[in-house]
Amino acid sequence: MQFISPSKGKMRFEEMMADIVDYIRGLPTSAYKVIIGADSQTIQGETHFVTAVIVHRLGKGARYFYRKRTHRKIKSLRQQIFFETSLSLEVGSMVTKALNAAGLEDLKLEIHIDVGNHGDTRDLIREVVGMVVGSGFKAKIKPEAYGASSVADKHTK
């Protein structure tokens, strides 16, 4: 599985996790949030999915990485949102496992879902939040879901 760092380029998952762990250990007295968010966009008959991993050093900046996947065009908004959420959950479990192995099990992940109380996605909130919470993660929706609506969205185009 390959991720992209805006500053370091392409990285394997293991390299990304080593970078994240080094970043956290570089300033261990800071508070951190690890956020996973996904977004998608359909362009020319294909749906592009981006999953972002953000490490926020609270009050002192952040680093992020993302992975892009392309699928045949997905016409149903419901199916698109569920697929985005499942991609976030897949990456979230892998990141949690890697953080636990590095002795950082106290860091809790947030999954940012690209749904909100306004617009076509409002009817899906309960189901996708249930998916995330049922998987053991904290769920955030718009406008608090900047991992999906800002970071991942930036790379879907």
DSSP symbols for 9-46: EEEEHHHHHHHHHHHHHHSTTS-EEEEEEEEEEEETTE
Residue 145's pLDDT is 95
**Angle made by CA atoms 132, 137, 139, in degrees to the nearest 5:** 60
Q: Can the peptide bond before residue 6 be classed as cis, meaning omega within 30 degrees of 0?
A: no
- The pLDDT mean for the chain works out to 95
Query: Which of the residue ranges 67-71, 93-97, 153-157 would you say has the lowest mean pLDDT?
Result: 153-157
Q: What is the pTM of this model?
A: 0.95
Q: Which helix (H) or strand (E) holds 154?
A: helix 153-154
Closest residue by Cα to residue 10 from 55, 56, 67: 67
Which ranges in 65-142 belong to alpha helices (H)?
Answer: 77-101, 125-134
Residue 74's pLDDT is 93
CA 19, chain centre distance (Å): 16
Q: How is residue 111 written in tokens?
A: 């999954």
Instruction: Report the C-alpha gap between 148 and 111 in whole angstroms.
Output: 9
**Angle made by CA atoms 7, 40, 13, in degrees to the nearest 5:** 40
Residue 153's pLDDT is 87
- Structure confidence by residue, pLDDT tens digits, 16-68: 999 999 999 999 999 999 999 999 999 999 999 999 999 999 999 999 999 99
- Structure confidence by residue, pLDDT tens digits, 109-146: 999 999 999 999 999 999 999 999 999 999 999 999 99
